[in-house]
Amino acid sequence: MDTVTIPITEAAVPQKGHPRGLYTLFFTEMWERFSYYGMRALLVLFMVATIEKGGMGLTDKMAAAIYGLYTAAVYLAALPGGWVADRFLGAQRSVWYGGILIVIGSFLLVVPRTETFYLGLVFVVLGTGMLKPNISAMVGELYPEGGARRDAGFTIFYMGINLGAAISPLIAGTIGEKVNWHYGFGVAGLGMVLGLIQFHFTKKHLGTAGLHPGHREAVKARDWAILSSIVGALLLSIVLVYTGVLHINPIAMARGTAYLILGVAVLYFTSAFFFFGLTNDEKKRVGVIMVLFIASAMFWSGFEQAGSSLNLFGERYTDRVLAFLGGYEFPASAFQSLGPIFVIGLAPVAASLWVWLARRNLNPSLPLKFALGLLLLALGFAVMAWGSIYVAKGQKVLPTWLIATYLIHTFGELCLSPVGLSSVTRLSPKRLVGQMMGLWFLATALGNLIAGVMAGEFNANAVHEMPGRYFQIVLSAAATGVLLLIVIKPVKALMKDVK
């Protein structure tokens, strides 16, 4: 997507400290993540719960496929969401309307009907696609001077993301599991309502950041035609599905979409190498991005088991009774708070560690950090494979197995995720940065789809297979990590002179 930096008013940027607008965006994003992660923590648990218990009664395979499609669609929707802001609305209005769509979607999930459930997911996807990329873009616009102050601003913003993600499963998850699933979805929606209220009353602190579309030229007929086609195709698809003309098999759709995304990536990289007129140095760097694309998709395919197979493991096979609280059984969705809590505590430590190592010329290279992330992912699933041996024997296990897994996976996330986007911006040819960023979102979407398909292979009626299933993830993640270790030298050579 094409963007430009728009100067903001002097009043919006104090000479010291951070712009007041940062806190507007901090709380908006915190409440949006509260809404998203609260609903996400309940999603699979609700779909597999029996109808008698207020759920949908779906099979694990079907629920995991829907979950994978939903989480992948959230990332894919960021591409048209950024385009709409860039061409038509500007970031501020995109965030506002995106939040409204999220609220509508969340409250549709409150209605106990299958039809409104799927329509609610569609609204949440569209709203998140409009809000998520544009609120991040506005954070950048608040710091036109760039530098360390901007990095610090993004760090504060990142803490808001994880704060909302940490709190919501404890509140929305508890209400959903202990009281009523739909009330839990409603609480998640209320979080976005609070975010919209504070955004409305404090957006004046943003100045002109995100106030106008980034594309300064007049909107062309072609742009309107593209927008009309997208909206028309979406509305037509919804009508065809709800009238029964079009039947969708989520399992087949998840697999097909994964192959489609992979095909698009292969086609794009092939075109870049042979038809984009790149120099030899640019081709080498695009080759590095291709390697990182594969590694990233593999990482997220395991990491995103958190909301599906690991969530079900916590609900079915983990002893959650707290004797010291009078035998209270805490909700399985509470485990979803562990990752964000660990990130909040460990991110500053990881950042300090990289700085400390860099001063001694020991900072790991980009491919080595990716390899470490994948190997830590494998180690986390090795813990799950070990713990599931006891489950296969008919036992419930202590929460420490999941806690250890989430902790190890957080270390892996901190090795790989923070440097991912930064590396793409540094490696991409200048004229292709926007396209390469979009491609990076495709890697995350692909990983989420694969995660859903893999989670569906866990059979609740064949728990003896569980250790083997987790061990397969261990092997795939470890193999990818080892391959990266093997090619570190040639990859570093391709990155020569990149700063």
Same domain, residue pair 371 and 487:
yes
pLDDT, residue 147, reads 62
CB 160 within 8 A of CB 149: no
Confidence of residue 218 (pLDDT cuts 50, 70, 90): low
pLDDT at 253 over 60: yes
Same domain, residue pair 367 and 441:
yes
Comparing 159-163, 431-435, 440-444, the range with the smallest average pLDDT is 431-435
Give me the mean pLDDT over the 77-85 stretch: 85
In a domain, 230, yes or no: no
CB 469 within 8 A of CB 391: no
Nearest-angstrom CA–CA distance, 209 and 343: 29
Residue 128 CB partners (closer than 8 Å, separation 6+): 32, 36, 74, 77, 78, 81, 98, 102
Residue 463, exposed/middle/buried by CB under 10 A (0-12, 13-18, 19+)? Answer: middle
pLDDT, residue 494, reads 80
Q: Residues 24-35: pLDDT tens digits? A: 999 999 999 999
pLDDT, residue 217, reads 67
Confidence of residue 110 (pLDDT cuts 50, 70, 90): very high
pLDDT at 187 over 90: yes
pLDDT at 481 over 50: yes
pLDDT, residue 493, reads 83
In a domain, 36, yes or no: yes
Residue keyed to tokens 């409009």: 130
CB 342 within 8 A of CB 412: no
pLDDT, residue 416, reads 87
Give me the mean pLDDT over the 13-31 stretch: 80
pLDDT at 10 over 70: no
pLDDT at 12 over 70: no
Mean pLDDT value across the chain: 87
- φ, ψ for residue 213 (rounded to 5)? -60, 145
In a domain, 240, yes or no: no
Confidence of residue 207 (pLDDT cuts 50, 70, 90): confident
Q: What is the CATH number of the domain that holds 336?
A: 1.20.1250.20
In a domain, 342, yes or no: yes
Same domain, residue pair 144 and 268:
no
In a domain, 124, yes or no: yes
pLDDT at 447 over 60: yes
CB 314 within 8 A of CB 169: no
pLDDT at 189 over 50: yes
Nearest-angstrom CA–CA distance, 180 and 45: 12
Nearest-angstrom CA–CA distance, 351 and 155: 10
Encoding tokens for residue 268?
């794009």
Confidence of residue 5 (pLDDT cuts 50, 70, 90): very low
Encoding tokens for residue 135?
């609120």
Q: Residues 357-414: pLDDT tens digits? A: 888 888 888 889 999 999 999 999 999 999 999 999 999 999 999 999 999 999 999 8
Nearest-angstrom CA–CA distance, 295 and 103: 35
pLDDT at 13 over 60: no
Same domain, residue pair 351 and 283:
yes
Give me the mean pLDDT over the 269-291 stretch: 89
In a domain, 239, yes or no: no
Residue keyed to tokens 């999220």: 102
Amino acid type, 37: Y
Q: How far is CA 387 from CA 283, 395, 402, 407, in A?
A: 45, 10, 9, 15
Confidence of residue 58 (pLDDT cuts 50, 70, 90): very high
pLDDT, residue 214, reads 64
Show which of 173, 191, 216 is a domain's final residue.
Answer: 216
pLDDT at 7 over 60: no
Q: Residues 304-359: pLDDT tens digits? A: 999 999 999 999 999 999 988 888 999 999 999 999 999 999 888 887 887 788 88
Give me the mean pLDDT over the 71-84 stretch: 87
Instruction: Pick the closest to residue 194 from 227, 172, 226 (CA basis).
Output: 172
Same domain, residue pair 201 and 255:
no
pLDDT, residue 434, reads 66
Show which of 168, 196, 216 is a domain's final residue.
Answer: 216
Name the pTM for this structure.
0.89
Same domain, residue pair 198 and 254:
no
Q: DSSP class of residue 321?
A: E
Confidence of residue 6 (pLDDT cuts 50, 70, 90): very low
Give the range of the structural domain holding residue 256, as residue numbers without chain letter: 250-499
Nearest-angstrom CA–CA distance, 472 and 234: 37
Same domain, residue pair 295 and 436:
yes
In a domain, 225, yes or no: no
Comparing 45-54, 140-149, 329-338, the range with the smallest average pLDDT is 140-149
pLDDT, residue 227, reads 86
Show which of 216, 235, 263 is a domain's final residue.
Answer: 216
Percent of the chain with pLDDT over 90: 55
Same domain, residue pair 183 and 332:
no
- Count the domains in the chain: 2
Nearest-angstrom CA–CA distance, 324 and 318: 17
Same domain, residue pair 291 and 411:
yes
Same domain, residue pair 453 and 321:
yes
Residue 155 CB partners (closer than 8 Å, separation 6+): 347, 351
Name all contacts of 414-418 with Cβ < 8 Å and 24+ positions apart: 414/343, 414/346, 414/347, 414/350, 415/350, 415/369, 415/370, 415/372, 415/373, 415/376, 416/295, 416/296, 416/299, 416/369, 416/370, 416/372, 416/373, 416/374, 417/373, 418/347, 418/350
Alpha carbon 485 to its chain centroid, in Å, reads: 26
Same domain, residue pair 193 and 293:
no
In a domain, 227, yes or no: no
Give me the mean pLDDT over the 2-22 stretch: 52
pLDDT, residue 4, reads 34
Same domain, residue pair 165 and 290:
no
pLDDT, residue 245, reads 85
pLDDT, residue 460, reads 82
pLDDT, residue 14, reads 43
Comparing 1-10, 135-144, 256-265, the range with the smallest average pLDDT is 1-10
- Helix or strand holding residue 27 (H, E): helix 20-48
Q: Residues 226-236: pLDDT tens digits? A: 888 888 988 99
pLDDT, residue 216, reads 62
pLDDT, residue 215, reads 59
Confidence of residue 69 (pLDDT cuts 50, 70, 90): very high
pLDDT, residue 177, reads 95
Between 25 and 246, name the one with better pLDDT.
25
